Amino acid sequence: MSFVLNCANLIASTIGIDPVRDEAKMAEMAKAAPSKTYVAKTIVVETPEEAKAREERGEPAPTQQGQDNEDDEPVITALMEALSIDAKTITAE
What is the end-to-end Cα distance of the chain in Å, rounded? 29
- Return the pLDDT at 87: 64
- Return the pLDDT at 35: 86
| Mean pLDDT of successive 10-residue stretches along the chain, which has 93 residues | 89 89 90 86 87 94 67 83 73 61
Q: Give me the half-sphere count of Cα atoms (radius 13 Å) on the Cβ side of residue 48.
A: 0
The backbone torsions φ and ψ at residue 19, rounded to the nearest 5 degrees and listed phi first, read -70, 155
Q: Is the pTM of this model over 0.75?
A: no
